Structure 1
C-alpha cells in the first residue's frame, strides 16, 4: 500500500483535527518532505506544540489573522480540516489566495461539492474526501468525490499523494454516505470488536492487559489476511472474507460454535444495520449543513 508520491507537491493543512491530523501523520511517515507542508491551528500554544511534535511549520490564527490565507497561497493541495460548520466560511476566506491550479480537498462530513464550489467559485478544482483514521499508520481508506472542475491530472495528484498511506477510491459523490458507513465509521466497529473479544477473555480469567493485546493482534492479523489474500492480489486463488471465515471453522469445532452463537445473536444483521445507520446519519448531516438536495 505504501508508495512514494508521484511528484513533489506542496501541501497546506488548514486545521489539525482528527482527520487532517491522521492524513498528515500518514503523509509524513510515508516520506513527504516536512518542508513541503504548512499547517494552521487556532491557538499559539497548539501551533507551537504541533510544530515541535511534527517538525513542520504551523501558523496560529491567534497570532496572524491571515494564517489560513498565507498557508493556502503556498500550496498545490489545500486540505480543509476544521469542523463542518466552519468549512464554507474557511473556503470563502482563502478563495482569493489560492493559486490558479491549486486543488482544495475537504475532509468534513456533510459538506457537499456544490457547497464547496459555491464558496470557492465554479472553476476551482475541489474534492470532497472521506478518509478514516488508520491513515495515521499508513493503512487508511479514502474516498474522493471530485468536482467537474477538477481535471484528471489534479485528481490523480491528490490520489497519488494519499496512496502513500491509504487505499484510495475515486467515487461519485452519491456514494459518499455508503462509504462513510463502511470505512469512515468502520475503524470503530473493529475497535468495538476487539474490545468485546478482550472483555470475553477477561471474563474467562485472562489478565486484562493480555486479553487486550491478543485481541488487538488477532484483529490486526485477520485484517492483513483480508487485504493480502483477497481475490486479485496476486495470489493464485484469492479468498474473500466469507471464505477466510469458513476456513477457520472446523466441523463441530470451537470456532464453528462461536460463529453459530454470533449468528444466533443477530451479529451479521446488527453490523449491517450499523453501517446503514452511519450512512443515514451522514445524509442527515448533509441536509443540516447544506440544505436538502435539489
Structure 2
C-alpha cells in the first residue's frame, strides 16, 4: 500500500460518527492538536465510519461543528474510512496470501454458549484485556475443504487472524515506544492475549484493528495519541505493522476522562456532550479547564 512520508510530526484525531462527542473526545482532540502545534507538526482528522449501520451524516457533521467550536483546524480532505474499503480488502488479501487469515463462522451466541458450558464445569475460559472470551479454535482447525464448503453454502462469516501462526512467522519479540500517562519507554507487548482477532466482519470489509493500522500508515502518522483504554490493543497494531512492513509510530496513551461513577464516558451520556455544554454557555476555554488542560 502507498505510505505517505512526512518530514514533520503527524498527529491525528479519529472519531467514529456514531454519537456526539463528549469531554473524553475533547481531551484527545485537544492533546493531538496542541502537541502537533508545539512540535511544528501536522494535525489530521479521520472519520472512522466502517460501521455503516451506526454511522450517520448527522453525527459526522456534529463532529466537524464541535471541533471547529473548540478552535481546531485540520488538513483537508478528511479521510473517511468508508471511502477506502478496497484498500482494507487488499490488505486482508495480503495477509491471506501469507496463510494468516481464516473464515470464522461461529456467531456470538454460539461462542457464548460454548464458554458457558465450559465454565459450568468449574473451569475458566481465557479472556482478552477487555474481558471478552477468546474465540474458540474450531474454525481455525477446519480443513480448507470444510471452509470452502461452508462458504459455498453462503454461511455468514468473519475473517480472523491466526494469531499463533502470525507470531510464529514474526519470530521475534514485539515492543512499542510509549510516552503517555501510563508506563513509559520501550514497552514489551504480547498480541497473543487477544487471541484470533477479527480482521473483517460479515457486514464490513475491515475491523478496527486492521483499518486503524492501515490508515495510520497511509496517512504517515508519526505520533498516535489516544486514550489509555487502547493501550493493550497496541500489541495487535504492532503485530500487523510488522507483518505488513509498515512504519512504527510513537505512542502516547493519555488518561481518561471519567464520569461520576468512575467509569470512562460514553456517547450516551448527554450531560458531558460538547453540544450540550455549549448550549449551557460554556466556552472552549471552559472545556479545556474541565479536561485538565
What's the TM-score bracket when you normalise by the shorter of the two chains?
A: under 0.3
- Output the TM-score relative to the length of structure 1: 0.24
- Output the TM-score relative to the length of structure 2: 0.24
